Amino acid sequence: MPRAIRGVLVKVDPSIKAIIVNIDAENHAFIIEDLDEDHLVIKENMVSVLKGRIDEILAAVLTVSNPNGAESDSDY
């Protein structure tokens, strides 16, 4: 008998989708179906966990790109 998995349709930018696919590649715990370049079906009970992981990754990227925490105002 088939088993149903509750999911949430998520619309994302291709860059965020790439991050989600990369996270899911570790243990396949998040993505139920990859629909197209902008849409994924994510396991309903994992959405908040996935949001937290994305926030962590984006925060790390932002601190690496700007290590002193201030906006760059260079005079060119």
Q: What is the mean pLDDT of residues 60-70?
A: 73
Identify the architecture of domain 8-63 in CATH: 2-Layer Sandwich (3.30)
Query: What are the residue ranges spanned by the domains of the chain?
Result: 8-63
User: How far apart are alpha carbons 72 and 76 in whole angstroms?
Assistant: 12
Helix H, strand E, coil C: the string for 22-50 is HHHHHHCCCEEEECCCCEEEEEHHHHHHH
pLDDT band at 76 (very low <50, low <70, confident <90, very high): very low
pTM of the model as a whole: 0.78
Query: Does the pLDDT of residue 48 top 50, yes or no?
Result: yes
Phi-psi region of 19 (alpha: psi -120 to 50; beta: other; left: phi over 0): alpha
* Contact assessment for residue 18 and residue 40, using Cβ atoms and an 8 Å cutoff: no
Q: Between residues 65 and 3, which one has the greater pLDDT?
A: 3
**Predicted local distance difference test score (pLDDT) of residue 69:** 58
Is 19 exposed, middle or buried (CB count within 10 Å of its CB: 0-12, 13-18, 19+)? middle
